[in-house]
Structure 1
Amino acid sequence: MKRKLLGIIDATTYHEDLEDLLTHRSLAALPFGGRYRIIDFVLSNMVNSGIRSVAIFPKMQYRSLMDHLGSGKNWDLNRKRDGLFFFPSAIIDSDFNMVGSFDLFAANMDYFYRSTQEYALISNCFTVFNMDFRPLLDWHTHSGCDITEIHHQDGSSLELYLIKTSLLIKLIETRHQTGYSCMKDVVHDMHHGYTICHYDYNGYAVMIDSIETYFSTSMNLLQKNVWKNLFLAEQPILTKVKDEPPTKYVKGSMVKNAMIANGGLISGTVENSIVSRGVKIGKGTVIKNCIIMQKCQIEDNCYLDSVILDKDVKIEAGTKLIGTEKSPYVVRKGTKQGALMNS
C-alpha cells in the first residue's frame, strides 16, 4: 500500500456558517473533541491505511494548521522519503471552495510528476470518520473503475475520490480544454467516457459544514456507541502530543458524562460537555452541553448551557450564557464575556 497510494488533502474549504470559529484558523485546524483538530481524522485514516506520502493544500489562515502538524512526527510522516508535504496556495483571489481544485494542484505539478504511487486518494479536510482505505483500493482495482467516489450509507457523497495518479495528472493538464475545474465536475459529467464508480462506506461519518453540525457532532462523542465506532484501538486517531499534568478537581466539584482534557482546574459542575486543555472553571459555576476550548477561564458562579467558547476566552463571574442545540451561543477566540455585557 505504501508504494501504491498517494494521499491528497484539500484544506482550502471555507464554510460561511462556521465563520465565528474560523476567523483565526482554517477549517482543517478547527479544534474537535477536546484534543483533536478536524484534519486529524482523514490524516490518521491515511496513515493507518499505510499511506506514507501525504500532500496538504491549504489556502488562507493556515498558521495554526502548520503549527499543529509540524513535521508530521505524530503521524509518523517525518521521513527521508515521501512523508508530509505542505503546499499553500499562491492564488489568493481564486475560489477554491471545492474539493480537488485542478488549478490548486496545477501550481504544484512537480509533486505529482515525482510521485511513485500508482493511485491517488483525494479528500476533503472536514469529515469526522474512521475508515481503512485498503479495502477501497482493492475494490477499485478489481472493479475496473477510472474514478471511485466514496458515498455514505445514506447515499450522499463524502467528497473523497480514488483515481490513478496518471489520470489525475491528465485531468489537471487538460483542465482548460475540458472545462473541468475539480473532481466533482468530472464525476458529474455524463459525456467524459470514464468509468465512474461509487463505493459505499457504512461507518460513522459527518461532514462539518456549519455551527449546528459541529456542535451536534461534538455532543455525539459523549454517546458510547458513537465513541466506539469512531475511536478504534486498531485504527487510532492521532494528534499533536502535548505533555501536561492531569486536570485537578477541587473538592466539591462535580463532573458527569463529560470529556476533560489535561492541564485544567475544575472547581464547579461540568455536565454533558467537552473541555479542552488548560481550562479553569470556577467555584459555583455550572457548565452544561458546552464545548470549551483550550485555556478558557470561566470565573465563579457562572451558568453556561449550549455554549461554544473558542480558545482563550474569559467569562467573568456571575455571567449567564444560554444557547440551544440548533443554535449554540458562540464566543469568539480571545474575547471577554461579562454579566454586564448580557444585561
Structure 2
Amino acid sequence: MNKQMLGIIDASPYTDELKPLTTHRTFSAIPIAGRYRLVDFMLSNLVNSGIYSVALFPKINSRSLLDHLGSGKQWDLARKRDGLFVFPPRADYPLDQSSIVSLLRYHIDYFLRSKQKYAVITNSCTICNIDFKDVLDHHIRSNAHITEVYHKEQSLHLYVLETALLIDLIHQESFHVKTLSEFLQSFSSKYSFSRYEHEGYTMVISDISSYFNSSMDMLNRPIWDQLFAKDRPVYTKAKDEPPTRYTKTAVVKNSMIANGCVIEGYVENCIIFRGVKIEKGAIVKNSIVMQKSCVGEKGLLNYVILDKDVKIERNIQLVGDIENPNVIPKGTVQGSLMNL
C-alpha cells in the first residue's frame, strides 16, 4: 500500500494578539526556546514522519521566515526531487482579498505533480511532537474522508486526507476563509471526519500569554524531553556561536542559556537566546530575552519578554505578571527617561 505523504504548512494566519512579536516577522517565524522558530516544530514533525515533500504558504512579513528556512537543508529538504517549497502570496492579489484557498488553487500544479497518495495539513502555531505515520494508520483504519487531530478534546487543526480529495476540494467553490482548517471544516457536512487523539505535551500559540507559558513550560525537564525527544529531534537553522561565558558574579538557576552569551548577573527561570549580555548586578527572573539583547548593570526584569536587539540601561526595572508579561519591542532602548 502506498503510504507516502506530502506535507502542507499553513503559515498564513495572523493575529494582533501576538503583537509586538509579529510587527516585523510572520507568525511562524517567532523565536522560541532559545534558538528555534515556531515553524521548526511542525516542520520537524513532518520530516521525522518520513515526509520529504513539504509546501509552506506564508502571507505577510515573511522575510525573516525565508531567511530562516533557506534551502531547507537543516531539515534534509534540499533535494533534487521533492524537498521544501515556499509559495508566497500572489503579487497581483491584495493581501486582504487573497484567501489561502485561492493561493492553493493558484499553485495547484504542486499537488497535481505530487506522487504521494496522502496529504498532511498542518499549521505553525501548534507545539508538540507527533508522528504523522500513526495518524495516517488511524486514518486508513477509520475509512473516513478526513482525519482531524485532537488533544484533550480540543482540535489541533491538523489533518490527514487523500491528495486526490484535497485537489477536488481546492477546485470546489468555497467562502473566503482565513485558514486551511476553516476551509476543511466547511465540508464537514458533506464528508466524514474521524478523530485522532494525540497524547503528550501540546500547546497552541494564539497570544502572548500562551507563548510565554509554553516557553516557561520548556524549563520543566519532562516537558522538554517530550518535545525534544532524541529519536525525534527538532531541527533548526544552525548558527556558529562561541560558548557562553559565565563570570564569577554570575548566578543561574533553572534557565536555558543559548551560546554566545555573557552572564555576569543573576538569572532564574529564564530563556536566554544567543548573544545576550546580562551585566553585573542585573536580576532577570521569569523572563524571555531574545537574541543580542542586553540587560544593563543593576537592572531588574521579572515576567518580561525582550525581543531581539533590545537594550535595558543601567538601573531600569521592568515588571509584568504571568498572565500579562511586559513585552518590549525589537530594537528599542529602555533608558532613564523610560523607567517603567
TM-score w.r.t. the length of structure 2 is: 0.95
Is 2:117 aligned against 1:118?
Answer: yes
Structure 1 counterpart SS, 2:321: coil
Provide the residue aligned with 1:224 in structure 2: 221
Provide the residue aligned with 1:34 in structure 2: 34
Partners of 2:58 and 2:16 in 1: CA distance = 17
Code of the aligned partner of 2:156: L
Partners of 1:2 and 1:242 in 2: CA distance = 38
Partners of 2:206 and 2:135 in 1: CA distance = 25
Code of the aligned partner of 1:75: W
Structure 2 counterpart SS, 1:140: helix
Partners of 2:60 and 2:184 in 1: CA distance = 26
**C-alpha offsets along residues 71-128 of structure 1, whole Å, 9 cap, x if unaligned?**
001000001000000000113333678xxx3222112111111111111101111111
Residues 202 and 96 of structure 1: is their aligned pair in 2 closer, same or farther, counting only changes over 3 Å?
farther
**C-alpha offsets along residues 192-212 of structure 1, whole Å, 9 cap, x if unaligned?**
1x2211111112111100000
Provide the residue aligned with 2:104 in structure 1: 105
Q: How far apart are 1:134 and its partner, in Å?
A: 0.6
Code of the aligned partner of 2:165: L
The answer as to whether partners of 1:34 and 1:261 remain within 8 angstroms in 2 is yes
Partners of 1:125 and 1:191 in 2: CA distance = 26
Is 2:85 aligned against 1:57?
Answer: no
The answer as to whether partners of 1:180 and 1:186 remain within 8 angstroms in 2 is no
Structure 1 counterpart SS, 2:28: helix
Provide the residue aligned with 2:239 in structure 1: 242
Structure 2 counterpart SS, 1:80: coil
Code of the aligned partner of 1:163: L
Partners of 1:160 and 1:339 in 2: CA distance = 47
**C-alpha offsets along residues 142-186 of structure 1, whole Å, 9 cap, x if unaligned?**
22111011111x21110111111111111111125xx58444344
Residue in structure 2 matching 1:187, options 185, 188, 191: 185
Residues 141 and 155 of structure 1: is their aligned pair in 2 closer, same or farther, counting only changes over 3 Å?
same
Matching of residues 327-342 of structure 1 within 5 Å: 327-342=324-339
Residues 2 and 218 of structure 1: is their aligned pair in 2 closer, same or farther, counting only changes over 3 Å?
farther
**C-alpha offsets along residues 302-341 of structure 1, whole Å, 9 cap, x if unaligned?**
0110000000001111100000000001100001011321
Q: How far apart are 1:15 and its partner, in Å?
A: 1.6
Structure 1 counterpart SS, 2:166: helix
Partners of 2:139 and 2:3 in 1: CA distance = 16
Provide the residue aligned with 2:10 in structure 1: 10
Gaps of 5+ in 2: none
Calculate percent identity across the aligned residue pairs. Answer: 49
The answer as to whether partners of 2:29 and 2:38 remain within 8 angstroms in 1 is yes
Provide the residue aligned with 1:283 in structure 2: 280
Code of the aligned partner of 1:89: P
Partners of 1:27 and 1:140 in 2: CA distance = 29
The answer as to whether partners of 1:128 and 1:205 remain within 8 angstroms in 2 is yes
Code of the aligned partner of 2:155: S
Residues 131 and 2 of structure 1: is their aligned pair in 2 closer, same or farther, counting only changes over 3 Å?
farther
Residues 142 and 244 of structure 1: is their aligned pair in 2 closer, same or farther, counting only changes over 3 Å?
same
Gaps of 5+ in 1: none
Provide the residue aligned with 2:249 in structure 1: 252
Partners of 1:326 and 1:264 in 2: CA distance = 28
Provide the residue aligned with 2:138 in structure 1: 139
Structure 2 counterpart SS, 1:20: coil
Structure 1 counterpart SS, 2:6: strand
TM-score w.r.t. the length of structure 1 is: 0.94
Code of the aligned partner of 1:109: I
**C-alpha offsets along residues 262-306 of structure 1, whole Å, 9 cap, x if unaligned?**
001011010000000000110000000000000001111101100
The answer as to whether partners of 1:148 and 1:198 remain within 8 angstroms in 2 is yes
The answer as to whether partners of 2:111 and 2:167 remain within 8 angstroms in 1 is yes
The answer as to whether partners of 1:55 and 1:87 remain within 8 angstroms in 2 is yes
Provide the residue aligned with 1:262 in structure 2: 259
Residues 32 and 183 of structure 1: is their aligned pair in 2 closer, same or farther, counting only changes over 3 Å?
closer
Partners of 1:56 and 1:340 in 2: CA distance = 44
Residues 13 and 190 of structure 1: is their aligned pair in 2 closer, same or farther, counting only changes over 3 Å?
closer
Residue in structure 2 matching 1:157, options 155, 158, 180: 155
Q: How far apart are 1:228 and its partner, in Å?
A: 1.6
The answer as to whether partners of 2:2 and 2:117 remain within 8 angstroms in 1 is no
Is 2:204 aligned against 1:207?
Answer: yes
Aligned length: 336
Residues 290 and 114 of structure 1: is their aligned pair in 2 closer, same or farther, counting only changes over 3 Å?
same
Is 2:173 aligned against 1:171?
Answer: no
Partners of 1:322 and 1:249 in 2: CA distance = 25
Residues 244 and 224 of structure 1: is their aligned pair in 2 closer, same or farther, counting only changes over 3 Å?
same
